[in-house]
Structure 1
Amino acid sequence: MFCDFTPSYPVADIADEEVHLWLIDTNDALPSKVLDDGLSLLSDGEKNRMKQFRKAARQHQFLIARVALRCILNALLNHPGARDLRFTTNPYGKPALANNSENIQFNLSHSGSIILIAVTLGRECGVDIEHIDNTRNIYDLARFYFHPAEYGTLRGPHNVPADILQFYKLWTLKEAFIKGEGKGMAIPGNGFYFCNTEAASPRLRVADPALAAHPHWLFHHQVYNDTFSTALAIASPPDTVLNISRRRLLFNPLT
């Protein structure tokens, strides 16, 4: 379970062997002043992106995600102000800090009301969260998107509940890896697969080594609140032992 965590800034430093996972629920009641003050932290580009979402709920989600990310990174970097942080993207769109002498890496995902942010020191990372939809046609999706070795782990309509959990475990693990590598759809979903998914850290097999910039990844999967499948990917040597620190942002990140 993700622990309840009411942050007081500055956040404690992050060590080389640590991964900080922050969970934010946009359903948490936030005073309008917090949202107004949060909007002032966003860059003009972020404000324009937010305006492109037609639904108010999606704008609300984007605002909270960007405010939380800025405040967390600002605290770790001991930066003068969250508003002054600058971001850049790689050719595939993966975001990063523009000025990052501390080599802080991060990744963000959202599903429904939940936002998940991963932060590491000097290690590429990817994170994914998906709401578990029990009505979804997982078999057609898996046949199209998964590697045959992964599709073969689904046992068919007579085993739907277990197959749904296996599908979302694989789905989020694959998305976390793709986001960690930062190559987007340049990495086809059937170009790699996971095995030993029942273990604490599933193993990755890549059909073409040229698809992956990092030879070794560590993975972690967890179901949150019986409703969301979450996965984390960290570029690390196979013998690395990481400390995953889960933190619930109950929040007023501006205080």
Structure 2
Amino acid sequence: MIYIYYSYISEDNFENLLENELSKFSSDYQDKIKGYRRWQDAQLSLLGRVILFKAIEQVYKCKLNYKEILQTKYNKPYFKDSLIQFNISHSGEIVVCALVEKSQVGIDIEIISDIQIDDFKWQMTEQEWLTITSSGKMMESFFAYWTQKEAVIKTHGHGLSIPLKTFEISEDAAIINDQKFFLKEIKIDEKYKCYISLDMPIDELCIRKI
């Protein structure tokens, strides 16, 4: 089972999060949160971690140390000596967190905004760009590809060291260095695009709002 938790940020809830949740995390992370100028950015980051630990308690009936989130050299977060894999993403007013055991996972969410998509042509393969530009909904098509590619490289674990144009999204899958990654769209809000990726076929999903 793959679990996906999500939540919307709220200014009314921000001070409560700071007072009751922030101190649970490392001092470095607390300094990072306090360094944000906008409450929205601070809450997006903090709420992602709060959702993560609440989800772990609900799903796996266990508690992990809040201060033991480590990072690989490619900045992918993980827990030492745990089978629980997770990934967090946020955009606009939504935070999403994906959890699964014994499989690498990546999730990405983006608010569909009016951008100059030509600036990102070099990030897409020829076929992907053709599909985007021939679509009746170019922005929606672009963000669908973008979130899929982001989810895949987050699953792979090497982040943006892998150029997005070096692999192609096709039939809900992508291949990087002979390794196959599977994709599935997560429909949370019509104003956003969200995809999850695993390094194994995606089975049943459980989506919960906090």
TM-score where L is the length of structure 2: 0.90
2:174 corresponds to which residue?
A: 204
Stretches of structure 2 that go unaligned for 5 or more consecutive residues are none
The structure with the largest alpha-carbon Rg is 1
1:93 corresponds to which residue?
A: 75
- The structure 1 residue matched to 2:155, chosen from 172, 177, 180, is 180
Alpha-carbon distance in 1 for matches of 2:169, 2:159 = 18
1:61 partnered with 2:44: yes
- For the 8 Å contact 2:103–2:198, the answer to whether it is kept is yes
Query: What is the aligned-residue RMSD (CA, Å)?
Result: 2.2
1:242 partnered with 2:203: yes
1:169 corresponds to which residue?
A: 144
Alignment of 1:1-255 (within 5 A): 18-27=1-10, 29-30=12-13, 32-80=15-63, 84-100=66-82, 103-133=83-113, 135-141=114-120, 143-155=121-133, 161-196=136-171, 202-206=172-176, 209=177, 215-236=179-200, 240=201, 242-249=203-210
- Amino acid corresponding to residue 113 of structure 1 in structure 2: E
Cα offset for 1:165? Answer: 1.3
Q: 1:61 to 1:140 in 2, by over 3 A?
A: closer
Alpha-carbon distance in 2 for matches of 1:29, 1:63 = 15
Stretches of structure 1 that go unaligned for 5 or more consecutive residues are 1-17, 197-201, 250-255
- For the 8 Å contact 1:195–1:205, the answer to whether it is kept is no
Cα offset for 1:87? Answer: 1.3
- For the 8 Å contact 1:223–1:229, the answer to whether it is kept is yes
Q: Deviations over 1:107-144 (max 9, x none)?
A: 000001100000001100000000001x2111331x12
Cα offset for 1:73? Answer: 2.5
- Amino acid corresponding to residue 173 of structure 2 in structure 1: R
- For the 8 Å contact 2:5–2:51, the answer to whether it is kept is no
- Amino acid corresponding to residue 115 of structure 2 in structure 1: R
Alpha-carbon distance in 2 for matches of 1:155, 1:83 = 47
Alpha-carbon distance in 1 for matches of 2:133, 2:62 = 51
SS of equivalent to 2:190: coil
TM-score where L is the length of structure 1: 0.75
- For the 8 Å contact 1:43–1:83, the answer to whether it is kept is no
- How many residue pairs get aligned? The number is 210
Q: 1:31 to 1:53 in 2, by over 3 A?
A: closer
Cα offset for 1:241? Answer: 5.4
Q: 1:89 to 1:55 in 2, by over 3 A?
A: same
Identity, in percent, stands at 22
Cα offset for 1:147? Answer: 1.4
Alpha-carbon distance in 2 for matches of 1:173, 1:79 = 31
Q: 1:85 to 1:64 in 2, by over 3 A?
A: same
- Amino acid corresponding to residue 138 of structure 1 in structure 2: I
